[in-house]
Amino acid sequence: MKCPICSASTTIFFTKRDEVSFFECNECESLFAEPEFLEKVEAGYVENYENTYWEAEISAARDRSFGSSLQRVAETFLYCRIPINNFIDIGSGPGFLLDSLSIVLPASRRLFHGVELFPPKQHTNHPNYHTGSIGDLPLVFDAGCCIEVIEHLTPKMLENIAEQLATRSRNGSAYYFGSGQPAYVKSEDPEYLDPYRRGHIVAYSIKGITKIFQKHGFSIIPLPGRTWAFLAEFGQSDKPSADELLSRIWTPIPENIQCLKDSEFGPLMYNIGIESARCYLEHAICNERTLWAQNLDKELAALTRQPT
């Protein structure tokens, strides 16, 4: 069986959920539902992200939008290396994130947009909430987020989004994606793959995401300390280290700082972004340096045991 993400033929059985088999690619390391099931999702025979999904997830979507998703937006403003004039929430669902951003960043309310192909019955009345695809929007974006979305999408569907996003991105634009990767499934949430109730049909690895996005001009940047998030930067080829990402959050673009330090509400979002990004980056850097020191100790100990 070929991997639907990277086309490698070295795939093995991983697990079974609700009579749907999931496989692991030995090449790109992604986890995916059996190809027959993915084809049914693409054909619309299996509904894994529409009315039934929203009936169960509308409350969680509201909680994220008024909680952790605000942190991710703030971080994206700090990571982005160009001034952000248009920000897009990809797969906005009910659009609650637009509502929460209107509260904490009222002076920049018109800057934020949301797009949703399958809007639930209960959704925002924000003027920048759009029904349809990214490619339908007559706008160019500097940054955005896509949270709890791509695990619902087949590789073909995700590639379509990457292709459309490339046509709507300014050079240097940065997008935060939040989605469980294989390491997250294996070590933190073994029930993450859930084809019907949660609609999670793929756990994309960084290698797999890179395979899909790179051909459309995006550079994929892992976020150290998180097995459930990454950045996609358009038109850029560098891969910043954890230290370089930390430098980014301490030296943001002045216009982006000004937006986060809202003239009406105050600097809450700026502080949230700094602290949230530091929490993960500094911890990851500390772990990396500790591991380096431990390995060095082992090497030195091995040398001292060698006979003269």
pLDDT digits (tens, 9 = 90+) for 166-195: 999 999 999 999 999 999 999 999 999 999
- The pLDDT of residue 90: 97
pLDDT at 263 exceeding the cut of 80: yes
Q: Does domain 48-260 have CATH number 3.40.50.150?
A: yes
Q: Are strands 112-116 and 87-90 parallel, antiparallel or unpaired?
A: parallel
CA separation for the pair 89, 91 (Å, rounded): 6
Tokens of residue 217, six digits = 């001009």
Cα–chain center distance at 18: 26
Q: Which residues of 31-68 are buried (b: 16+ CB within 10 A; e: fewer)?
A: bbbbbebbebbeeeebebbeeebbeebbeebbebbbee
CB contact at 8 A, 4 and 32:
yes
- The pLDDT of residue 70: 97
pLDDT at 290 exceeding the cut of 90: no
User: To the nearest whole number, what is the mean pLDDT of the chain?
Assistant: 93
CA separation for the pair 114, 134 (Å, rounded): 9
* pLDDT-based confidence at residue 307 (cuts at 50, 70, 90): low
H or E stretch at 268: helix 268-305
CB contact at 8 A, 104 and 67:
no
Phi-psi bin for 172: left (phi > 0), alpha (psi -120 to 50), beta? left
- Give the DSSP per-residue string, 199-256: -B-EE--HHHHHHHHGGGTEEEEE-TT-SSEEEEEET------HHHHHHHHHS--HHH
- Any idea how long the chain is? 308
CA separation for the pair 23, 30 (Å, rounded): 8
pLDDT at 261 exceeding the cut of 80: yes
CA separation for the pair 214, 203 (Å, rounded): 18
What are the structural domain ranges in the chain? 48-260
pLDDT at 48 exceeding the cut of 70: no
pLDDT digits (tens, 9 = 90+) for 24-35: 999 999 999 999
H or E stretch at 9: none
CB contact at 8 A, 22 and 174:
no
pLDDT digits (tens, 9 = 90+) for 72-121: 999 999 999 999 999 999 999 999 999 999 999 999 999 999 999 989 88
Mean pLDDT of the region 198-205: 96
How many other C-beta atoms can be found within 10 angstroms of the C-beta atom of residue 192?
A: 20
Sheet holding 218-222, edge to edge: 129-131, 112-116, 87-90, 141-147, 169-178, 229-234, 218-222
Specify the pTM: 0.92
Q: Are strands 229-234 and 11-17 parallel, antiparallel or unpaired?
A: unpaired
91-105, 142-156, 287-301: segment of lowest average pLDDT: 287-301
